[in-house]
Amino acid sequence: MKPGLWASKLAVLAMFLTACRNGVALETRTFRLQSLDDSVARTIIDPYVFWDRPNAPGTVAGTQGVLTVRETSDNLDRIERVLEEFDTPRKTLALHFQVILANGQSTSDSSIAEVVAELRNLFRFQGYQLIAEGYIAGLEHTHVEQLMYDLRRVPGRPIPSSMMYAGYRAAADIGTVSGTGDATQIELEYVSLYSAAGDPLFGASVVLGIGNTVVLGTLQLPGNEALILAVRAELVR
């Protein structure tokens, strides 16, 4: 056995014997973290670790996804209950982005029929056309991005007059998911729409009900056109 390993085992044994002489029995328990960063988990459990206990201090060692704590059995039980409350698995969501062109035409795109009724309550355009869409899944408290191609760029068809024909990129920071059932809500922190070249078009932060579609903003284009971004969120698990 390597000398360093012997020294480490002897140090642990000495701490254990000292703790026993002082009437304090320490145990070591390892907790696997589901969503919390180990530094955040250490901050949460800090009040339950007696660092300054004479001759038998508690200790915490953390690495990515794992927390090892040496404390009394009852304190370890408390720490376990605290982690069960705060270290819950992050939820997975699916976001559906739709870029819609309001262009003054008298007809509307059947692929966005469900959204058009709400659009007519908000705006005075005559027609709406879906020009780009994308789907992306992401975990709670993560950043997601999705490149979306302009659906009008079909071989054999003329390039539209809109200067935005090259494509789009949608981005969002998925925040906290709260509530249950039909009352479940998600915080989307600054949902943004960019041109394919990376130019920011518009963005907004919103609290969105799961299963609902929300219109996040519009961008006026040359002529009688405007660009609209709609997003829908679904809970995957």
pLDDT tens digit string along 58-104? 999 988 889 999 999 999 999 999 999 888 888 888 999 999 888 75
In eight-state DSSP terms, residue 24 is -
> Which segments of 73-148 are extended strands (E)?
92-102, 128-139, 143-148
The C-alpha angle 192, 226, 208, rounded to 5 degrees, equals 40
- DSSP lists the bridge partners of residue 146 as 170
pTM tops 0.85, yes or no: no
CA distance 108 to 126: 8
104 phi/psi in degrees, rounded to 5: 80, 0
CA distance 92 to 142: 10
- Total Cβ atoms within 10 A of residue 88: 12
The CATH number for 55's domain is 3.30.1370.120
pLDDT given for residue 43 in this prediction: 92
Q: Taking each helix axis as running N to C, give the angle between helix 73-86 and helix 38-45, from 0 to 180 degrees, rounded to the nearest 10.
A: 130
Same domain for 107 and 222, yes or no, is: yes
Collapse the DSSP code of 118 into the 3-class scheme (helix H, G, I; strand E, B; otherwise coil) and give the result: helix
Same domain for 97 and 124, yes or no, is: yes
106 phi/psi in degrees, rounded to 5: -85, -15
Same domain for 11 and 82, yes or no, is: yes
Average predicted confidence (pLDDT) for the chain: 81
pLDDT given for residue 166 in this prediction: 59
Containing structural domain, residue 53: 3-86
pLDDT given for residue 64 in this prediction: 81
Count: domains in the chain: 2
From 48, 66, 86, the end of a domain falls on: 86
DSSP states along 135-159: EEEEETT-EEEEEE--TT--TTSPP
Which residues of the chain register pLDDT less than 50? 1-12, 21, 161-164
